[in-house]
Amino acid sequence: MLGQEFEAKVDEIVSRYPEPKAALLMLLWEVQERKGWVDLESEVWIAERLGVSPAHVHGTVTFYTMYKQKPSGKYHIQVCTGLSCMLRGSDNLMDHLEKRLGIKEGETTPDGKFSLIRVECLGSCGTAPMFQLNDDYHEDLTLEKVDRLLDGLD
Amino acid sequence: MERILTRNIHKDDSQSVSVYEAGGGYQSLRKALKMDPDNIQEEVKRSGLRGRGGAGFPMGVKFSFMPKDGDKPMYLICNADESEPGTFKDRVIIEKDPHLMLEGCLISSFAIRARACFIYIRGEYVHGARVLEKAIQEAYDKGYAGKNILGSGYDCELVLHRGAGAYICGEETSLMTSLEGNRGYPRLKPPFPAQAGLWGRPTTINNVETLANVPFIIDRGADWYLTLGKPPNNTGPKLYCLSGHVKRPGVYEAPMGLPLKELIYDLGGGMLHDDRPLKAVIPGGSSVPVLRAEQCDVDLDYDSLAAIGTMLGSAGVMVMDSSTCMVKAIERITRFYAHESCGQCTPCREGCGWLEKILTRIEAGQGRQEDMGLLENIADNIQGQTICPLGDAAAMPVRSFVQQFRSEFQEHVDSKTCTVAHAQAHD
């Protein structure tokens, strides 16, 4: 489905486990890394490869919050608004991002550049407030730091 | 004080196997492989090491539940799904000293005769997963993992497995269900993991920090370990996660039993704003009962905190100053549990949502006189009524906030507004 390199990687991952089904979460990550999200075609392909039903794969995808069921923005901003971050100003940070990007939490800018979501604790409470921008953590944020960071993105 | 668990983290290139080896790394594994696995279990048991993930169960006792023989393969799981709000200590070990964790995994696997160790890391720790992936490869290249480890005849595979965003998967049975390729639903105990764990096979699950203690116990012995902290039940070095309204939040290592006020006022540099005194502390991650400022002359260890009605939990110490609205704080915590309830058990699935709804309306100035009683009633109907402890983790903080700060809840209801925000606006 995604080419030979992908299928070789799939075989290697499946071989790590005594039961093929155990590879499911890792295979979904491989799909998301390549496609940017997990589409239904990929779910069906994985189901066949692992010998489980497409419904099982879809049920798994929808259970975990990190699998994207639609494409996100080029820059996907996940703001931690848990208690420790709240105590250090994450609600202001969220307000600032919504104003600056002109979107509400859960939305993507019309040009597809930014998407913004609120997430639960990311384990960065000692460096709050923070967000995860695609894979990377940005910590000890101030509104000025956020503006500088976003200004620098193309 | 000698730093133990964090002795390497400030070194340049602390993640690399060569730096780890230069500091004496993997010598404990060499020593362990020459020992009888049962003697390793005994040494860990004697050290008094208790689980650092939250429950505080004695690690050596957990080991002893594993069968000594039998034809089924056995497994160790390293629980790196650190997700308890306020907790960020395992992340430091994973990102800065991954080989310490791996050495702990390998010695522990040998001690229980496991044929593989699965490392389940939370999906958000993308950087941590990359660091571990590299470290695991190095461990294989150096002969510390895989077939015939260091010529001992012992085989053990290390398998890194990424979660994908689900707090519930930090609960051990849910983690196993997830690792097997499913939605992360907890399972009933018994059977316990040591009887029927991963794929129905005997399995032991330990937290990252717990495993990181093991190389030191093997290297220096249980007698040395017992000199740290408050023996016999609260021993060893401990990582404390300090967050919230303090000047220097972060992870601090100290022997078990660090006084809470020393953490806040010495290590943490004191309250963030000099004119805003301490109001409340959650000492062990968001699932444990909250303390009022006047209860904070307490040591951070299992027994001292239990004695005043709370828990060490994951040692996530969240500090709140006088500007904090207690209704808003518990609303935020409860939103988390409502979001993270897996939905399997009705009391938790429905109850967490109700708790959040009621707290939201109190904070918004629409609370009703009966709401505090209702919150306690719902908490009572969740706690102890669910398959896994997430229900308890949601109920306990709500009950404690209402009981400890009842007058603040009452003021919200009576004045139909958030009284704390209102008071600040008039400062």
* pLDDT tens, position by position, A46-77: 999 999 999 999 999 999 999 999 999 999 99
Nearest CA-CA partner of A61 in B391, B410, B388, B178: B178
Share of chain B above pLDDT 90, in %: 96
Q: Does A24 touch chain B (CB under 8 A)?
A: yes
pLDDT(B424) > 80:
no
Task: Provide the H-helix boundaries in B124-243.
Answer: 126-141, 172-179, 208-220, 222-225
- Is B163's CB within 8 Å of A25's CB? yes
Q: What is the largest CA-CA distance in chain B?
A: 73
Q: Which tokens belong to B96?
A: 């800065």
CA distance B109 to B98: 16
pLDDT(B70) > 90:
no
pLDDT(B427) > 70:
no
- Is B85's CB within 8 Å of A83's CB? yes
| B384 and B404 Cβ atoms separated by less than 8 Å | no
Q: Does A58 touch chain B (CB under 8 A)?
A: no
A140 CB contacts (<8 Å, ≥6 apart)? A127, A128, A130
What is the pLDDT confidence band of residue A1, given thresholds at 50, 70 and 90?
confident
Rounded to a whole number, what is the distance in Å from the CA of A133 to chain B's nearest CA? 11
Rounded to a whole number, what is the distance in Å from the CA of B219 to chain A's nearest CA? 30
Token look-up 């389940």 returns B120
What pLDDT was estimated at residue B426?
Answer: 56
Helix and strand tally (H, E) in chain A? Answer: 7, 4
Radius of gyration of chain A (CA): 18
- Comparing CB atoms, the residue among A121, A127, A135 nearest residue B85 is A121
CA distance A31 to A133: 19
A92 CB contacts (<8 Å, ≥6 apart)? A143
- Is B249's CB within 8 Å of A66's CB? no
- Comparing CB atoms, the residue among A21, A65, A137 nearest residue B181 is A21
What pLDDT was estimated at residue B69?
Answer: 81
What is the pLDDT confidence band of residue B421, given thresholds at 50, 70 and 90?
confident
Task: Provide the H-helix boundaries in B221-345.
Answer: 222-225, 260-261, 302-307, 326-340
Does residue B33 sit in helix, strand or coil? Answer: helix
- Is A127's CB within 8 Å of B166's CB? no
CA distance B408 to B63: 46
What's the whole-number mean pLDDT along residues B79-100? 98
- Is B184's CB within 8 Å of A63's CB? yes
CA distance B424 to B322: 10
**What residue in B sits closest to A67 (Cα-Cα)?**
B164
* pTM of structure: 0.97
pLDDT(B150) > 90:
yes
In A, which residues are within 8 Å of B165 by CB distance?
64-67, 119
Does residue B228 sit in helix, strand or coil? Answer: coil
In B, which residues are within 8 Å of A81 by CB distance?
332
Q: Which tokens belong to B123?
A: 């999906």
Q: Which tokens belong to B208?
A: 């990252």
| B278 and B296 Cβ atoms separated by less than 8 Å | yes
| B357 and A123 Cβ atoms separated by less than 8 Å | no
Nearest CA-CA partner of B222 in B426, B386, B52, B45: B45
What pLDDT was estimated at residue B398?
Answer: 98
The string of DSSP letters for B11-32 reads STTTTSHHHHHHTTTTHHHHHH
CA distance B325 to B419: 8
pLDDT(B56) > 90:
yes
| Burial profile A15-44: b = 16 or more Cβ within 10 angstroms, e = fewer | ebbeebbbbbbbbbbbbbeeeeebbeebbe
| Burial profile B70-103: b = 16 or more Cβ within 10 angstroms, e = fewer | eeeebbbbbbbbbbbbbbbbbbbbbbbbbbbbbb
Q: Which tokens belong to B262?
A: 């020393």
CA distance B378 to B241: 30
Pairing type for strands A131-133 and A75-80 reads: antiparallel
Rounded to a whole number, what is the distance in Å from the CA of B49 to chain A's nearest CA? 24
- How many beta-carbon pairs below 8 A join chains A and B? 146
pLDDT(B359) > 60:
yes
pLDDT tens digits, B246-288: 999 999 999 999 999 999 999 999 999 999 999 999 999 999 9
Q: Does A2 touch chain B (CB under 8 A)?
A: no
Share of chain B above pLDDT 70, in %: 99
Q: Which tokens belong to B162?
A: 């990424």
CB proximity under 8 Å: A 72-101 to B: 81-84, 86-88
- Comparing CB atoms, the residue among A25, A87, A126 nearest residue B88 is A126
pLDDT(B42) > 90:
yes
What is the pLDDT confidence band of residue A19, given thresholds at 50, 70 and 90?
very high
The DSSP secondary-structure symbol of B156 reads: B
In B, which residues are within 8 Å of A56 by CB distance?
182
pLDDT(B17) > 70:
yes
Q: Which tokens belong to B314?
A: 């994951």
pLDDT tens digits, B221-257: 999 999 999 999 999 999 999 999 999 999 999 999 9
What's the whole-number mean pLDDT along residues B15-33? 98
Q: Does A102 touch chain B (CB under 8 A)?
A: no
- Comparing CB atoms, the residue among B164, B243, B328 nearest residue A25 is B164
B413 CB contacts (<8 Å, ≥6 apart)? B362, B367, B368, B369, B371, B372
E-state strands within B18-173: 75-80, 116-121, 157-162
Number of residues that this document lists for chain A? 154
What pLDDT was estimated at residue A132?
Answer: 97
In B, which residues are within 8 Å of A86 by CB distance?
328-329, 332
In A, which residues are within 8 Å of B125 by CB distance?
123
Rounded to a whole number, what is the distance in Å from the CA of B160 to chain A's nearest CA? 9
